[in-house]
Amino acid sequence: MKLVQETTKSEISEPMTIKSPRFKPKRIVYHALTGGLAILMLYPIIWLLMSSFKESSQVFITAHSLIPDPFILSNYVQGWEGIAGQSFGVFIKNSLIIVGLSTIGAVISSACIAYGFARIQFKGKAFWFACMMVTMMLPHEVVMIPQYILFSKIGWLNSFKPIVVPQFFGHAFFIFLMVQFIRTIPVELDEAARIDGCGRFSIFFRIILPLIVPALATSAIFSFYWKWEDLINPVLYLNKAEMYPVSLALKLFLDTETASNWGAMFAMSVVSLLPVVLIFFLFQKYIVEGISTSGLK
């Protein structure tokens, strides 16, 4: 509560801080508090990163220290050799295939569906839109078991198909986000294009798609995250190590955890987080917008 009070007060005195240097100590307190909290939050991540440069035998003996002594890179070499006879490169390749196909499928199909919902007046639209909203709140567990049974009956076990194919039928969150976005585009644009002789498909491809690129980007980024981190589907559907994505490979590291391979496990954990963090820093704007407008994630 103290924290809250502190902020509200300093918010109000904001204009004054700019005018008079008398309030400078307050700003120092602010940055000390906020910066300290930020460091506390990030400490686990920094610890993981630093531990990946420590010798496996040293990781837990020097758990209090962030500075690797000696500083080694061999964990990365050892980790990259992989596990269960597969190099870590194979796991990354698998993850990229799954993520790439899923993302393309989810974004394209969701854009089509969103256009239909946002711009075309057809019978039963309200009903189907309500169905879509309901799927957003549905626990995955309710459909998980029958889906598993269905996919095993049609022989899709041990392939990427059960993970990738459903993505080609639209994703409720993305559809919702894009519908919201399309609604902000003036209908006059569509009408002008129609007068110029555009059909529905060319309006969609030439007018709408180029204008909703930010929403497409936001959806693509979240699709990337969800599929990259997804664990339960690979656990269910993939049982050969050569098909494992990164998430499942890391679980394998953990299952065979011994005192000697902590370093390698930490190193590959860091590798698995690299693309996620990189995309975050590159496309932060889209992520923040996506969350603030639709509560994604």
Q: Annotate 124-139 with DSSP letters as a single string.
A: THHHHHHHHHHHHHS-
Residue from the set 76, 117, 237, 244 that interacts with another protein by CB under 8 A: 117
- Identify whether the C-beta of residue 271 lies closer than 8 Å to the C-beta of residue 91: no
CA separation, residue 174 to residues 126, 145, 215, 219 (Å): 18, 24, 8, 6
165-224 residues near another protein, rule: CB under 8 A: 166, 168-170, 175, 200, 204
Told to check if 143 binds another protein by CB under 8 A, we report yes
Q: Could you give the angle at the alpha carbon of 33 between the alpha carbons of 31 and 36, nearest 5°?
A: 95
- Identify whether the C-beta of residue 190 lies closer than 8 Å to the C-beta of residue 119: yes
> CB-wise, 29 or 73, nearer to another protein?
29
Helices 172-183 + 213-229 axis angle, to 10: 170
> CB-wise, 196 or 281, nearer to another protein?
281
Q: What is the dihedral of CA 30, 31, 36, 37, to 10 degrees?
A: 60
Residue from the set 45, 77, 133, 189 that interacts with another protein by CB under 8 A: 45
Give the separation between CA 73 and CA 75, rounded to whole angstroms. Answer: 5
Binding mask 67-106 for another protein (x = CB under 8 A): ----------------------------------------
CA-nearest of 176, 173, 191 to 118 is 176
Q: Which of 95-103, 185-193, 211-219, 244-252 is the region at the interface with another protein (rule: CB under 8 A)?
A: 244-252
Give the separation between CA 131 and CA 61, rounded to whole angstroms. Answer: 55
Residue from the set 68, 176, 269, 286 that interacts with another protein by CB under 8 A: 269
Give the separation between CA 54 and CA 56, rounded to whole angstroms. Answer: 6
> CB-wise, 72 or 244, nearer to another protein?
244
Told to check if 256 binds another protein by CB under 8 A, we report no
> CB-wise, 57 or 87, nearer to another protein?
57
Give the separation between CA 174 and CA 223, rounded to whole angstroms. Answer: 9
Told to check if 122 binds another protein by CB under 8 A, we report yes
Told to check if 229 binds another protein by CB under 8 A, we report yes
Q: Which of 67-75, 84-92, 121-129, 209-217 is the region at the interface with another protein (rule: CB under 8 A)?
A: 121-129
**Rounded to the nearest whole angstrom, what is the least distance from the CB of residue 262 to another protein in the complex?**
8
Query: What number of chain residues touch another protein (CB under 8 A)?
Result: 104
Told to check if 155 binds another protein by CB under 8 A, we report no
Told to check if 5 binds another protein by CB under 8 A, we report yes
**Rounded to the nearest whole angstrom, what is the least distance from the CB of residue 133 to another protein in the complex?**
12
**Rounded to the nearest whole angstrom, what is the least distance from the CB of residue 88 to another protein in the complex?**
13
